[in-house]
Amino acid sequence: MSHKIDLTSEQHDALVLQAQSYCRKNLDLDLEQFDAAFLVDFFVEQIGKQVYNRAIGDAKSHLEQHFEVLADRLYELEKY
């Protein structure tokens, strides 16, 4: 199952400005807004899924640790 990562227009615009600033400061390259938008779209498409999946995995691991603690505490409450 493949889902497209959707950004709000505000998020996209902010990333475009950040890309332009980065390229200007670090690469001595002035990107027009149109070119920067294509660059942002490319990176969101190519890298976004991997970052998203990593975040999901981290959240899953975090929850599993909490569920283990909860299960241990419930076990301690059992009466024998």
Per-residue pLDDT of the chain (80 residues; tens, 9 = 90+): 567 889 999 999 999 999 999 999 999 999 999 999 999 999 999 999 899 999 999 999 999 999 999 999 999 898 88
How many structural domains does the chain have?
A: 1
Structure letter (DSSP) for residue 78: -
- Residue 3 maps to a domain: no
- Residue 59 maps to a domain: yes
Check residue 80 and give its pLDDT.
80
Closest CA to 18 of 39, 42, 46: 39
Check residue 1 and give its pLDDT.
59
Treating both helix axes as pointing N-terminal to C-terminal, what angle do 9-27 and 33-77 enclose, rounded to 10 degrees?
A: 110
- Residue 69 maps to a domain: yes
- Residue 43 maps to a domain: yes
* 46: containing domain: 9-78
- Residue 58 maps to a domain: yes
- Residue 2 maps to a domain: no
Check residue 38 and give its pLDDT.
97
- Residue 45 maps to a domain: yes
- Residue 1 maps to a domain: no
Q: How many CB atoms lie within 10 A of CB 31?
A: 18
